[in-house]
Structure 1
Amino acid sequence: MSRAFVFPGQGSQAVGMGRDMAEAFATARQVFEEVDDALSQKLSALMFGGPEADLTLTENAQPALMACSLAVVRVAEKDFGVDFAAKGSYAAGHSLGEYSALCAMGALSVADTARLLKLRGQSMQKAVPVGEGAMAALLGAELDLAQQVVAEAAQGDVLGCANDNGGGQVVISGKKSAVERAIELAKTKGVKRGMLLPVSAPFHCALMQPAADAMAEALGRVTMTAPKLPVVSNVTAKGESNPDDIRKLLVQQVTGLVRWRESMLWLKGQGVGQIVELGSGKVLAGLIKRIDKEVEGTSVGAPAELEAWAKSL
């Protein structure tokens, strides 16, 4: 049985994230300092103590989640001697988590990743005026049903499937009026529930094209090497190792569907039997149980969890 390392996306942030790791390990503190320096911002203070409204801002949440994940990875490597390339077969990340995965696998530096995610968050926020876009979760819907709802509800407006999370949860994204039509239409199609999400912009749809353009320019300027393990792309739902391909896919990811369910099933098809979520929260470990009960999900984010997991290897 092989193992894959996965990295959480937006929504997994919480005030206090990373604080226990920073208190327990100098290695973790160094990661947080490196991110603070790269951004010329005391992001760690915001992570540890809030306020929550500021931490939830896309431009802060994205680099904060990466910092938290990388602190866990670096402590595992330096303090517990974990060799990720030897102990796993693949890495993957949900949306912004793909950047965390690439950084964890040595393809990008921590400083470059922090700056890329800060820009990604800012660009996504600026792409659409507040209130014009929206996202909603369709609960009890598989992708094909969600795509039917989107096709009928669009009526000429931008509307698309943003996240295929698995376990009957598909997130849609687009112009607010179109998302609201889709929620109403979904009720007539057998969808259990459609609920608007408390997000600041309509991620992963065509309205994000200005952000994709900004990321294309920024990604063209950074040094990227082949990751130690193939990183599953949100766009292709399979492992990728070529830096040129990865850059293009990260640009496409901004407007494209996050194919998380397919990514997890692809990993299972490659013989992966354990998914290890590294960083804040337990969302991805929970999702894998809904996608395929045969695959084990483990969350490693606190010092005690990290110690227990490292000793079990």
Structure 2
Amino acid sequence: MARAFVFPGQGSQDVGMGRALAESFAAAREVFDEVDEALGQKLSAIMWDGPKETLTLTENAQPALMAVSMAVVRVLEREKGIKLADTVKFVAGHSLGEYSALAAAGAFSLADAARLLKLRGQAMQAAVPVGEGAMVALLGVGRDVAEKVAAEAAQGEVCQVANDNDPTQVVLSGAKAAIDRVAEIGKAHGARRALPLPVSAPFHCALMQPAADAMAEALANVTIQPPAVPVVANVVASAVSDPEEIRRLLVAQVTGSVRWRECVGYLAENGVTELFELGSGKVLAGLAKRIVASLEASSIGTPDDVEAALSRLA
């Protein structure tokens, strides 16, 4: 039996996240203080008190989600004696969660991860003028059908698979006009529903190239250590440990598809039977059961969750 830790992406943020951890554990408070210092802003105050609109801004949500995930990691390691390298076979994260996974495995320092995610959020937001891009979730079909829908909807514009989340949920991203065509075309291909996503930019598509360029420059100046355990990378859906390959794949991730369904499949194929989502929300734990029904999946985001998980992690 093997375990994996996975880390949530954007959309899992909520006002108040991490507060109970900070109130209960010194190790968690240290994480939030360190992130605040690295960013030169009181991000923890936005996380705990809002307003929600400010927390949801991409440049805030990304480092905030990483901070909560790392608070859980530090609590497990420093206060509960659960060492990541001795406990899990792999780590993985959804989009920005890949940075959380890398920080958890020691590839990035906490401060570098926070600064990179702040920049990543700013660069992704700036890459496309507001209103010119959009994202939509196609429900009831898989990646093969979604790719056909994207190709038909494009009509010379960008429209591509951004997230392959589970066998019946695929997110498309691209130019707004193309995304607006997805609902009708998707219906013709058997999609149950096309759900527009409340995002401020079209993530994980070719329109994000300016953000990819910005991240290439930033990542070139950051030290990446070999992770304590392999990281299953979004864009290749397989395990990587080489720092230079990690650097390259993080740049590719900005414009590339998050192959989450395949990432979870890879974990299961390589012996993982139990998956723990560390951080805010329970999205990935829910997806895991729909991808591989035999996987045990649970979330650790509160002090109660920490205590409940200890017997299974020991």
Q: Which TM-score band applies after superposition, normalised by the shorter structure?
A: over 0.9
CA distance, structure 2, for counterparts of residue 64 and residue 154 of structure 1:
34
Q: Counterpart of 1:63?
A: 63
CA distance, structure 2, for counterparts of residue 270 and residue 290 of structure 1:
18
Q: Counterpart of 1:215?
A: 215
TM-score by length of 1: 0.99
Alpha-carbon displacement from aligned partner over 1:213-269 (angstroms, at most 9, x marks no partner):
000000000011000000000011001000000000000000000000001001111
Q: CA deviation at 1:311?
A: 3.1
CA distance, structure 1, for counterparts of residue 177 and residue 81 of structure 2:
52
- Aligned-pair identity in percent equals 63
Matches within 5 A, 1:1-313: 1-312=1-312, 313=314
CA distance, structure 2, for counterparts of residue 293 and residue 149 of structure 1:
27
Alpha-carbon displacement from aligned partner over 1:112-144 (angstroms, at most 9, x marks no partner):
000000000000000000000000000001000
Contact 2:143 2:167 in 1 (8 A): no
Contact 1:167 1:287 in 2 (8 A): no
CA distance, structure 1, for counterparts of residue 295 and residue 266 of structure 2:
12
For structure 1, which runs of at least 5 residues remain unmatched after alignment? none
Greater shift in the superposed pair: 301-310 or 278-287: 301-310
CA distance, structure 2, for counterparts of residue 295 and residue 248 of structure 1:
30
Q: CA deviation at 1:292?
A: 1.1
Q: Tell me, what secondary structure is at the counterpart of 1:284? A: helix
Q: CA deviation at 1:167?
A: 3.4
Contact 2:108 2:224 in 1 (8 A): yes
Q: Aligned AA for 2:30?
A: Q
Contact 2:95 2:253 in 1 (8 A): yes
TM-score by length of 2: 0.99
Q: Tell me, what secondary structure is at the counterpart of 1:41? A: coil
CA distance, structure 1, for counterparts of residue 167 and residue 76 of structure 2:
30
Alpha-carbon displacement from aligned partner over 1:187-227 (angstroms, at most 9, x marks no partner):
11110000110000000000000000000000000011000
Q: Aligned AA for 2:116?
A: L
For structure 2, which runs of at least 5 residues remain unmatched after alignment? none
CA distance, structure 2, for counterparts of residue 121 and residue 66 of structure 1:
12
Contact 2:91 2:229 in 1 (8 A): yes
CA distance, structure 1, for counterparts of residue 97 and residue 163 of structure 2:
13
Q: Aligned AA for 1:67?
A: A
CA distance, structure 2, for counterparts of residue 186 and residue 65 of structure 1:
32
Let me know the Cα RMSD of the aligned residues: 0.6
CA distance, structure 1, for counterparts of residue 51 and residue 8 of structure 2:
21
CA distance, structure 1, for counterparts of residue 45 and residue 11 of structure 2:
19
Contact 1:80 1:307 in 2 (8 A): no
CA distance, structure 2, for counterparts of residue 145 and residue 277 of structure 1:
29
CA distance, structure 2, for counterparts of residue 263 and residue 72 of structure 1:
22
